[in-house]
Amino acid sequence: MKRTEIASLGEFGLIDHLTKNIELKNTSSEKGVGDDAAVLSYANKKTLVTTDLLLEGIHFDLMYVPLKHLGYKSAVVNFSDIYAMNGQPKQITVSLGISKRFSVEDLELFYEGLSLACQEYGVDLVGGDTSSSLTGMAISVTCIGEGEEGKIVYRNGAKETDLICISGDLGAAFMGLQLLEREKAVYSGETDFQPDFTGKEYLLERQLKPEARKDIVKFLSEEGIVPTSMIDVSDGLSSELKHICKQSKVGCHIYEERIPIDYQTAMMAEQFNMNVSTVALNGGEDYELLFTVPLYLHDKVSKIKGVHVIGHITKEGLGLVMETRDGTEIELKAQGWDSIGEEK
Ligand SMILES: [Mg+2]
C-alpha cells in the first residue's frame, strides 16, 4: 500500500488535503474550514456544545479498530451527546495529535469515517487542528448543535412516578470489546490478525461502528413528547440512572427482566461466564438514550419502535433499586467500565 509521509504535505497542506471535498450543508454553518475561525449562526435557537477527548491506548486500540471506523465513532459519540439534550448536531471540529507512525493515507481513512458520519447525520465539519505527537494518536472532537427553547432536556427533570425508558438494547458493545480483546490476546505475536467473527457481527458493529439515536429524538418530537430527563448511555445503564436520580433528586425502581438484551449479547456473556444483566447494566458504549416521561404517556411511548419501559421513578429516599427475575430487590451500583471483569 502507498505510504505518503505527512511531512511531505506540511501541516497546512495536510489540512487542505483532508478537507478539500467538504461542502457545508447547514444554514447555521456560515463559514467552515479556511479562515481563522468558523462562523456559525444560531439566530433563534439555543446552541449546544459538547467535547470529547480520545487517546490511543486508553480509549481505542488500533490493533483491532480500523481508522475509518475510529473516525466514524469519534464523530457519532459526540452527536449522541447532543441528541441526549433533545437537540440536533450541526457542526464538528476535529483536532488530531499524530505520531510519525501515521501516513497521509491513514488520515485519509480516518477522515473518510468522519465524513461518512457527518453525511449520515447532516453535520458539517467546520474546523480543527493537527499537530505531531511524540507517540500515538490523540483525537479531540467538539460538536455544536441546536436546541429549541423550552425543549432542551436535562438530567435533572425526572419526577416521582415517571416512566423510565431505554432505546435499543444494552451490553452488545461491551461484549464486542471483550471479543476483540480475547482475539487480540490469542493472536498476540502473530502478524496476521484475521479471527473469525461469524455469528457475532452485531457485537462488533456495536463496538466498532455505533450509531447515535437520531431516530428516537425524531419519533419523540413527532409524537409531541418532551422527556422530563434524558442522558445517553456511554458508561452503562447503572451509571446513567445514577446521574439522572442524583440530579433530579429522586430514586428509581427498574425490573431486570425488562432490560433489553440482544441474543448475541446473551450468548457471548454465557461463553465468557459473565452475568448478562451485569454486562447490560455496566458495560457502556451503547449510545442508547435513557429518558423519563410522565406516567400518562405510557401508551404513546411504548408504541415507539425500539423503546422499552424498564421501570419508574420513585422518591429520593428509596434509592436505586432493581427487582431481579425472582422478585428480590437489589441496590443498583454504578460499577463503571473497568471493574466489570472482576464481577461475579
Ligand atoms: Mg452523555
pLDDT-derived band at 191 (thresholds 50, 70, 90) equals low
Whether residue 115 contacts residue 150, with contact meaning beta carbons closer than 8 Å, is answered with no
Distance between Cα 191 and ligand 1 center (Å): 37
> What are the start-end ranges of the E strands in 294-343?
307-314, 320-323, 329-331
Same fold, 6-147 and 163-331: no
Distance between Cα 153 and ligand 1 center (Å): 12
Distance between Cα 77 and ligand 1 center (Å): 8
Distance between Cα 253 and ligand 1 center (Å): 22
Distance between Cα 84 and ligand 1 center (Å): 7
The pLDDT tens digits for 232-271 are 999 999 999 999 999 999 999 999 999 999 999 999 999 9
- The number of angstroms, rounded, from the C-alpha of 118 to the middle of its chain's C-alpha atoms is 15
What is the 3-state secondary structure of 253-306? EEEHHHCCCCHHHHHHHHHCCCCHHHHHHHCCCCCCEEEEECHHHHHHHHCCCC
First vs last C-alpha separation in the chain: 46
Distance between Cα 111 and ligand 1 center (Å): 23
> What is 6-147's CATH number, 3.90.79.10, 3.30.1330.10, 3.90.1580.10, 3.90.320.10?
3.30.1330.10
Distance between Cα 219 and ligand 1 center (Å): 20
Q: Is 189 left (phi over 0), alpha (psi -120 to 50) or beta?
A: left
Distance between Cα 229 and ligand 1 center (Å): 12
pLDDT at 193 over 80: no
Q: So what's the pLDDT on residue 333? A: 76
Radius of gyration of the chain (CA): 21
Cell 505510504 belongs to residue: 3
Whether residue 106 contacts residue 44, with contact meaning beta carbons closer than 8 Å, is answered with no
pLDDT at 197 over 90: no
Whether residue 49 contacts residue 147, with contact meaning beta carbons closer than 8 Å, is answered with no
Distance between Cα 192 and ligand 1 center (Å): 36
Q: So what's the pLDDT on residue 188? A: 76
Q: So what's the pLDDT on residue 336? A: 46
The pLDDT tens digits for 26-54 are 999 999 998 899 999 998 899 999 999 99
Q: So what's the pLDDT on residue 70? A: 98
Report how far residue 226's alpha carbon sits from residue 301's, in angstroms, rounded to the nearest whole number: 11
Whether residue 228 contacts residue 157, with contact meaning beta carbons closer than 8 Å, is answered with yes
Report how far residue 288's alpha carbon sits from residue 174's, in angstroms, rounded to the nearest whole number: 13
For residue 61, what is the enclosing H or E element? none
Q: So what's the pLDDT on residue 76? A: 98
Q: So what's the pLDDT on residue 258? A: 98
Distance between Cα 234 and ligand 1 center (Å): 6
Distance between Cα 63 and ligand 1 center (Å): 26
Residue 236 contacts by C-beta under 8 Å, 6 or more apart in sequence? 281, 282, 283, 284, 286, 334, 335, 336, 337
Whether residue 108 contacts residue 145, with contact meaning beta carbons closer than 8 Å, is answered with no
pLDDT-derived band at 341 (thresholds 50, 70, 90) equals very low
Distance between Cα 286 and ligand 1 center (Å): 11
Whether residue 213 contacts residue 83, with contact meaning beta carbons closer than 8 Å, is answered with yes
Q: So what's the pLDDT on residue 340? A: 40
Residue 136 contacts by C-beta under 8 Å, 6 or more apart in sequence? 55, 56, 57, 97, 99, 101
Residue ranges in 24-88 assigned as alpha helix (H): 67-83
Residue 315 contacts by C-beta under 8 Å, 6 or more apart in sequence? 160, 250, 251
pLDDT at 334 over 70: no
Query: Which is nearest to 149 in space by CA: 22, 42, 60?
Result: 42
pLDDT at 8 over 80: yes
The pLDDT tens digits for 260-302 are 999 999 999 999 999 999 999 999 999 999 999 999 999 999 9
Distance between Cα 5 and ligand 1 center (Å): 36
pLDDT-derived band at 344 (thresholds 50, 70, 90) equals very low
Distance between Cα 231 and ligand 1 center (Å): 6
Q: So what's the pLDDT on residue 85? A: 98
- Give the start-to-end residue ranges of the domains of the chain: 6-147, 163-331
Q: So what's the pLDDT on residue 339? A: 38
Distance between Cα 252 and ligand 1 center (Å): 19
Distance between Cα 240 and ligand 1 center (Å): 9
Residue 238 contacts by C-beta under 8 Å, 6 or more apart in sequence? 281, 282, 320, 332, 333, 334, 335
Q: Within 10 Å of residue 123's Cβ, how many Cβ atoms?
A: 27
**38-45, long-range: CB < 8 A, 24+ apart:** 38/91, 38/93, 38/126, 38/127, 40/90, 40/91, 40/126, 40/144, 42/146, 44/149, 45/146, 45/147, 45/148, 45/149
Distance between Cα 232 and ligand 1 center (Å): 5
Q: So what's the pLDDT on residue 337? A: 42
Q: So what's the pLDDT on residue 3? A: 92
Distance between Cα 11 and ligand 1 center (Å): 32
Instruction: Give the three cell numbers for residue 285.
Output: 458504549
Domain 163-331 in CATH: superfamily? Answer: PurM-like C-terminal domain (3.90.650.10)
